[in-house]
Each structure stands twice: as structure tokens, then as C-alpha cells.
Amino acid sequence: MSFIKVSSTRGDYVLVNLAQVVWATVDTGGTSGVNRITLHMVDGATFSLKDVEAELALTGLETSLGELPGAPGLP
């Protein structure tokens, strides 16, 4: 089980259990890496993370899920 700490719009922090993520949308900015990631949770909540928090969330998801096999024809 992997948790990340993210800031909320109220200025406090919440812990997000990455095992509860149903799917995620990742927006990249070319060579600058991940600009934004949106985590969609099992309970319907969403977390939109930017910059450093987005990088940490993506790293946490990759660590939790492991390397996913590529489909034929995909880079």
C-alpha cells in the first residue's frame, strides 16, 4: 500500500491511498515532464495535482503498479 501527501484547496494536506485510484489522467509538457495528473478515486473523489505533486503521484503509481507491459504497436 502506498500513500502520498497532497495539498488541498484549503491549504491543508491530505493522504491519498494510491491503491484506491481507479484511473488517472496524466498531462505532460514535452521535455519538462509531468505538468498535471488527475487521480480518480473509487469513492468518486478526484485530485488534480500539479508540478512536483504530480511527479510524486506518478512515481508512487508506477511503484505500486510496477512496469506495465506494452501493447503491440505502442511506443
Give this prediction's pTM: 0.70
Task: Return d(Cα 21, Cα 4) in angstroms, integer.
Answer: 12
pLDDT at 20 over 80: yes
Q: What is the CATH number of the domain that holds 46?
A: 2.40.50
| Domain presence at residue 52 | yes
Range(s) of the domain holding residue 50: 3-65
| Domain presence at residue 70 | no
| Domain presence at residue 74 | no
Residue 71: phi and psi, rounded to 5, are -85, 150
Contact present, 63 and 3 (Cβ < 8 Å):
no
pLDDT tens profile 49-72: 888 888 888 888 877 766 656 656
Task: Return d(Cα 35, Cα 42) in angstroms, integer.
Answer: 23
